[in-house]
Amino acid sequence: MSRTHLSRAIELAVEAGEAGNRPFGAVLVGADGTVLAEGRNEVASGGDVTAHAELVAIRAAATAESATMYASGEPCPMCSAAMVWAGVTRIVFGASEPEFSNILDGGPRFSLRCAEVVAAADVDITVEGPVDEAEALNVFR
């Protein structure tokens, strides 16, 4: 697991927050370790409710097949399912949904966790997290 990529996702979350969006960032990394794309939450600034950081990164990448997604926060069910469809094989996240939801105001809270969404698919995806949660949660404060 590359803490460098997770740290970058957290930096992108800070940038998203500074731009008036909810503070989420993501880095999509290929199987060879090459950064394929980065994404910041753009829901408020872009007027697109699907512009979560993970989906922004997937849309920007030529491929997500066999890639690892590093996300500052636990991916929501929409993003988790999209990563299944895109061919991501590993998801690493910083802050867990229950923890960041206790800090953020507004927005839906999901009881369906990332690992549960990917477990429901007939593919092999590894989910790791929370990782460095204290650092990741600082973005939400």
Q: What is the 3-state secondary structure (H, E, C) of the chain?
A: CCHHHHHHHHHHHHHHHHCCCCCCEEEEECCCCCEEEEEECCHHHHCCCCCCHHHHHHHHCCCCCCCEEEEEECCCHHHHHHHHHHCCCEEEEEECHHHHHCCCCCCCCCCCCHHHHHHCCCCCCEEECCCCHHHHHHCCC
Number of domains in the chain: 1
Across the range 80-99, mean pLDDT stands at: 97
Two structure tokens written together for 121: 């698919």
Residue with tokens 């997937």: 58
CATH number for the domain harbouring residue 98? 3.40.140.10
pLDDT at res. 106 = 79
pLDDT at res. 111 = 86
pLDDT tens-digit profile of 30-74?
999 999 999 999 999 999 999 999 999 999 998 999 999 999 999
Burial of 105 (0-12, 13-18, 19+ CB in 10 A): exposed
CA-to-CA distance for 107 and 12, rounded, in angstroms? 20
Report the chain's mean pLDDT, rounded to a whole number: 96
Per-residue pLDDT for 115 more than 80? Answer: yes
Across the range 20-30, mean pLDDT stands at: 98
Q: Is the pTM of this model over 0.85?
A: yes
- Catalytic-role residue among 42, 54, 74, 97: 54
The residue segments making up the domain with residue 118 are 3-140
Per-residue pLDDT for 117 more than 90? Answer: yes
Per-residue pLDDT for 110 more than 90? Answer: no
pLDDT at res. 109 = 83
pLDDT at res. 105 = 81
Per-residue pLDDT for 141 more than 90? Answer: no
| 65 tagged catalytic | no
Q: Provide the β-strand partners of residue 70.
A: 27, 92
Q: Provide the β-strand partners of residue 69.
A: 28, 91
